[in-house]
Amino acid sequence: MPSAVVTGSSRGLGRAIALRFARDGYDIAINYHTSEAAAREVADAARDHGVETTVVGADVSDPDEAADLVDRAVDTFGGVDHLVNNAGIDQHVYTENLSPEDFDRVTDVNVNSAFACTKAALSHLREAAERAGDDNAGPSITNISSILAYTGAAVECHYAASKGALLSLTKSHARDFAPEIRVNVVAPGHIETDMTSDRTEAEKEAELAEIPRGRYGQPEDIADAVAYLRDAGFVTGETLNVNGGELMR
């Protein structure tokens, strides 16, 4: 059975992505940083689809812990076929109040973790490419960016900058790892998760007025996009914007 590693998969987007992979018949390595109980709930839900899981606590911005996550997946499943770099943190701080330590921490989690996990998984994904042979899709890496990579953000410049960096990292890795491994990125718009639950009603009204679809996205909308990129054999180095039309030009 094919397998996938989804970082930051105990909640929010990562949870929805992990469960979509499970529904589609993939064994799943579920990663958490702070909430083991939430991660184990995701594992229980995933196993309802008849797949195998492993739950791994790791700060994936640490290269050693990222490597341990991948190693645990390989030990459990015999390999890794897909990697989703979803782990991320946000913080609302004006630039003049933003400490270098906070800037570095957001960058570490949002960008360095994607690099660390990709590097740890690379040899295993190449082995998956050999196993796939003439399979149209083969192994893939999907990074999770944000609409803020394009628009910037007034009180979270470090978050927006980190998500912009993922766009360039994706294109670079797509070139580096071709033709064996496809690398793409999903850039969500406003999605309803616990990371966005602190919006005031006025903020929500203003945001919804900018979204032609007239609603917030759901984590499952992002999971659908990741599943598409996982299976789209002639798509690499691309950004799939999932924002309800907010960035139409």
6 strand-pairing partners = 30, 84
Query: Which of the following is catalytic: 94, 159, 216, 228?
Result: 159
pLDDT by residue (tens digit) across 197-247? 777 888 888 889 999 999 999 999 999 999 999 999 999 999 999 999 999
Q: What is the CA radius of gyration of the chain?
A: 17
Helix (H) or strand (E) holding 51: none
pLDDT by residue (tens digit) across 56-104? 999 999 999 999 999 999 999 999 999 999 999 998 999 999 999 999 9
Return the pLDDT at 230.
98
Q: Is the pLDDT of residue 136 over 80?
A: no
pLDDT by residue (tens digit) across 143-175? 999 999 999 998 999 999 999 999 999 999 999
**Single-letter amino acid code for the residue at 201:** E
Tell me the domain boundaries of the chain: 3-242
Active site residue 159: yes
Class of CATH domain 3-242: alpha beta
In order of 75, 157, 165, 235, the CA distances from 194 in angstroms are 32, 20, 24, 31
